[in-house]
Amino acid sequence: MRRKHMVIIIFALAIMLLLPGMTAEAKANPKLAAKTKVMKTGQTYRLELKGVSRKAKVKWKTDKKSVVSIAKKKGNIVTLKARKKGTAVVTATYKKKKYKCRITVREKKKQAADNPVLNSSNVTLHYLPEEYKDYITYDRSHMREYRFRVSGTKKEVREWKITGKNADYFSITEYGLLRIDWEPAYIEPCVKATVTAVLEDGRKLTAAVRAYSELNIYIDTIFTDFEKQYITPSMTEKEKAEKAAWYISITSDYELYNSNWFDIFIKGKGDCYASRYAVQYMCSHMGIKALVCRNYDAHGQTLVFADGKFYMVITGYNEPKPRSYTMYEISGEALSKVAEENLIDLNYFY
């Protein structure tokens, strides 16, 4: 038994004697942590010469500083920085022996800029009712609808919105198709609103939108042509207003229950209510103040203020063209009665 213990002790002592030699042998074979390395521009990398102490005197060098530079070095570790695309060799020298690492630098992929924009910040639409498409020739370049799109981002549009005083004139689909749903009134020929694209991250993009009526444009052309042909600078306001009544009488037939005054000029027909509005807007186009008498019994009556006096213009007689019309001065109690019965504020004319 004692002999067996002696053998174990001798074996252990032999191992202990061998360990320093083994350690020395390990330290005698240093190597770099990597012989090749791929980096991207701007990236840093810590390269270590293994098998030596951290305080070992190691010299570090790069053959292309413009590609890979040495940012920091301390003992057996060096910090490298990739500068630009290319290849460089980094060398560690220890006890006159060189250890090399070949580094390939590639361009860092640029992330797509997240700069969302709408394809237009200002859109104009034009509206034309179906019933007038056979009567009116219009500019075919005028847009009836417009498709908004967002570019410059991967974010989706969460919502399309229309806001503003005239927002109800427009509609927009969930995929950004803007439409004008009905025509602007003649007294407000241009309606405006704001379209907003709300992105899924909450950012908002806006565009100004406006719309015009082809019908209004066409009517203004008729009024302008009328003035060029029949109105002269020497005419009084009374003469101009009377000429408007005359024009309506010779260009339109009476049509019962058609109160649309546009039809007086486009279809050549309309009732007495349509005729009185036709007078009002013809006078307004010439700079003469006029208001229709809205009372149902006020047959074809339009109150006109011309040359400092009030006149009643009556059109809309139930006749084929050329129809009758009249114009006479009105004042005093008769004027007050007309204003009261038709809810007309006479202050409008002054």
- Please identify every stretch of the chain with a pLDDT value under 70, giving residue numbers as ranges: 1-28
The pLDDT tens digits for 177-234 are 999 999 999 999 999 999 999 999 999 999 999 999 999 999 999 999 999 999 999 9
Alpha-carbon distance 242 to 304, whole Å?
A: 10
Alpha-carbon distance 240 to 250, whole Å?
A: 16
Whole-number pLDDT of residue 26: 43
For 221, the token pair is 């052309």
Alpha-carbon distance 209 to 211, whole Å?
A: 7
**Within this chain, domains 27-106 and 117-212 share the same CATH topology:** yes
Strand pairing category for 122-127 and 309-314? unpaired
Residue 185: partners with Cβ closer than 8 Å, 6 or more residues away = none
pTM score:
0.68
Q: 81 and 69 in contact (C-beta within 8 Å)?
A: yes
Cis peptide before 233 (omega within 30 of 0): no
Question: Domain spanning 27-106 has what CATH number?
Answer: 2.60.40.1080
Whole-number pLDDT of residue 297: 76
Query: Architecture of domain 117-212 in CATH?
Result: Sandwich (2.60)
Handedness of CA 236, 240, 245, 251 (dihedral sign): positive
* 96: nearest Cα among 30, 20, 46: 30
3-class secondary-structure state, position 165: coil
Q: 284 and 306 in contact (C-beta within 8 Å)?
A: no
Going from N- to C-terminal start, the domains of the chain cover 27-106, 117-212, 231-349
Whole-number pLDDT of residue 9: 54
Whole-number pLDDT of residue 162: 98
Alpha-carbon distance 157 to 168, whole Å?
A: 22
